[in-house]
Structure 1
Amino acid sequence: MTQDQTLYEKIGGINAVDAAVDIFYKKVLEDKTISHFFDNVSMKSQRGKQKAFLAYAFGAPLNYTGKSMREAHAHMNLTEDHFNAVAGHLIETLHELNVPQNLIQEVVEVALRTKKDVLGI
């Protein structure tokens, strides 16, 4: 691992993002405090969107063409508790995948940069 690698490269590229998203959504869908947000969502499509977004957010060499975080979440009336539940599942997933703590911290920093947009504040 070199200093100039992106977070995307440090965590293992698309294979790592794919594995993390699949485990992450299993946790999210088992969480009754947030699973209802996905009741009428195609999870195949959602997983694809999440993989593309995370790859982009972590520095993958691609263009993200999806909705902005604010636009994608505007209709959901999300609270800080919802955001924290999702973030917690992401952190648990990364621990489960044995991602080093320093890289988990980088992921948390990326997630926190989206918080205001996700919550619409």
Structure 2
Amino acid sequence: MMAVLFLAGCQALNPEPDTSLYQQLGEREGIANIVEDLLYLIVEDERINHQFKGMDVAQFHRNLTDQLCELSGGPCTYTGREMRELHADMAITNTQFNALVENLILAMEENDAPTGAQNRLIKRLLPLYPDIRNL
């Protein structure tokens, strides 16, 4: 019995890739739809829209779709710039960071992503926080 518990504990430390998250988000097409809705929410959000002025919308959409696809266990590869480099001169505040996360959650809700999948994606994005905030 102890051996079974030990092996189960070891498995928990090294989980298999979670392709179900990718599927729950609607695969690449669903993720692209989430990102598109996120872009509309960003434009409407005065807390953060100034941070995105002048950006290449098509490139942002493609890169963020690839990044979320990769983070969710999909077959995509993010080839954009590193987060620290990309956000170095933006001086993003906690309020702005939280506003973007709120908008991402709204976009996922608008696309019927299950709450559990939303939470799992946010959990995978959290390690990027120090590089985005340049801490």
State the TM-score, normalized to the length of structure 1: 0.90
Are the counterparts in 2 of residues 17 and 55 from structure 1 also a CA contact under 8 Å? yes
- 1:59-78 equivalences in 2 (<5 Å): 59-78=73-92
Q: Deviations over 1:31-81 (max 9, x none)?
A: 111101111111112111111111111122233221111111111011111
- 1:16-95 equivalences in 2 (<5 Å): 16-95=30-109
Unpaired runs of 5+ residues, structure 2, are: 1-16
- Percent sequence identity is 27
What is the aligned length? Answer: 119
1:15 is matched with which residue?
29
The amino acid that maps onto 2:82 is: S
1:116 is matched with which residue?
130
Shift of the alpha carbon at 1:5? 2.6
Cα distance, 1:4–1:105 mapped onto 2, change above 3 Å: closer
Cα distance, 1:119–1:48 mapped onto 2, change above 3 Å: same
Unpaired runs of 5+ residues, structure 1, are: none
Task: Tell me how far apart the structure 1 counterparts of residues 51 and 61 of structure 2 sit (CA, whole Å).
Answer: 14
Question: Between Structure 1 and Structure 2, whose CA radius of gyration is higher?
Answer: 2
Are the counterparts in 2 of residues 87 and 111 from structure 1 also a CA contact under 8 Å? no
Dislocated runs of 4+, deviation >6 Å: none
Q: Secondary structure at the match of 2:19?
A: coil
